[in-house]
Amino acid sequence: MNVVLEINADRLLEDLKRLRTFGAAGPGVVRLALSSIDIESRNWLAGRMTEAGLDAMVDGVGTVFGRSRKSGPVLLIGSHTDTQPTGGWLDGAMGVIYGLEIARALSESDDLSHLAVDVASWIDEEGTFSAFLGSRSFVGQRVEESIRSAQNREGLRLQDALERAGLSGRPRVRLEAARHRAYLEPHIEQGGRLENAGKSIGVVATIVGIHEVRLRFTGQRNHAGTTPLSIRRDAGAALVCFIQRMNEAFRQLADADTVWTVGRIELDPGSLSVVPGQADMHLQFRDANTTRLHAMEVKLTELVRDFNAEGGVSVQLARLSEPEEPVTMNAELRAHVARAADAVAPGQWMQMPSGASHDAQVIAPHLPSCMVFVPSIGGISHDFIEDTNEEDIVRGCRVAGLAAVSILKELWGTPS
């Protein structure tokens, strides 16, 4: 691999830092999808795309799309620039600016200026109104229902937010099968695996699947002074006991990347002097392997059945959302990214799952997709202090750029 794409590190970092000023909050960013500051940032981004020679637009749902004017097969590079309520400056934003920089670098190259890259900032990846709205609209999922009914935390309807931003009437960008041949999403890792392993690049193999359930324990509310332990039906104590059993059972099924999280526990009535009559827990489990996810689901059902068979406190299992199945990245694209990583950062990269969700999982069923990660300092994300070393940011862009060239050359039939 002897092609070199000249990434302009200063320009890359300047654009990232400029984008950070839209909604800046200390070191972090508050730029919720379709807020006025988000719309400002989208107009700025569209301007930067135009300066880069792309045909740029903010589409009918808010996605910023920079369309290459070049002919031939197109690599789509994208991510998102909306943030969490207490967001970091790189989550999503970095991948979008990588796309912009790679498009510019290709145009400036004597040998590579024929290679076409479209750049996207998908709207509302974070789900302020409706998660993955931009990428879902792009691949042709029906989003009308979301637009009509989704609301943000303040009760503002998505439809009204789009109206207010002047986007309602606009066309929505759609996947063009003959044109779009591959999707690359660069992103910060948002976890601590790379840092712990001492690596600087992650080549994503799979985006993990997610199951989310609620377990509700029903016992008998009672006076905490006058009710002996022997006759209590304490829903909270039952919940704690269930978690123990579940942890033991899941450990038997798990590998090193399997995760499960009890993120919420509520005891009713929640008073010092009252034995809880009801207890709820929210459980999420994630894995890259569909078979394992289903085995965990089956085990959970068994644990619930056994628990209920014992009498005393009863437990009911309910889904909190439709399960998201794991999404495997395209093997050929992954190989391009791995080769690029090995060229730029020999010995410093690793294959890994993505524990977080990304627009790539929406796009992958419709377009061969891949992802590349750079380390998050301390593994911290969705927090104002989220950060990545500048040299890691620049290195990641070099890997993404090299992978882009390699993918596009193969699409042209001129592999390097």
Interacting residues toward a copy of itself by CB under 8 A: 189-193, 196, 208, 210, 212, 221-231, 234, 236-237, 240, 243-244, 247, 254, 256-267, 270-276, 282, 284, 286, 320, 354-357, 376, 379-383
Cβ atoms of residues 12 and 393 within 8 Å:
yes
Q: Least distance in Å: CB of 297 to a copy of itself?
A: 16
Main-chain phi, psi angles of 304, to 5 degrees? -65, -45
d(CA 364, CA 361): 5
Q: Least distance in Å: CB of 197 to a copy of itself?
A: 11
Which runs of consecutive H residues, i.e. helices, occur in 255-289? none
d(CA 341, CA 202): 8
Q: Least distance in Å: CB of 357 to a copy of itself?
A: 7
Q: Least distance in Å: CB of 356 to a copy of itself?
A: 5
Q: Quick one: 3 or 274, whose CB is closer to a copy of itself?
A: 274
Q: Quick one: 73 or 353, whose CB is closer to a copy of itself?
A: 353
Q: Quick one: 129 or 250, whose CB is closer to a copy of itself?
A: 250
d(CA 367, CA 278): 46
DSSP state of 329: P
Full DSSP string of 137-166: HHTT---HHHHHH-B-TT--BHHHHHHHTT
Q: Quick one: 119 or 329, whose CB is closer to a copy of itself?
A: 329
Q: Quick one: 101 or 386, whose CB is closer to a copy of itself?
A: 386
- Name residue 213's beta-bridge partners: 283, 319
Q: Quick one: 101 or 280, whose CB is closer to a copy of itself?
A: 280
Q: Least distance in Å: CB of 242 to a copy of itself?
A: 10
d(CA 227, CA 287): 42
Q: Least distance in Å: CB of 15 to a copy of itself?
A: 25
d(CA 113, CA 118): 14
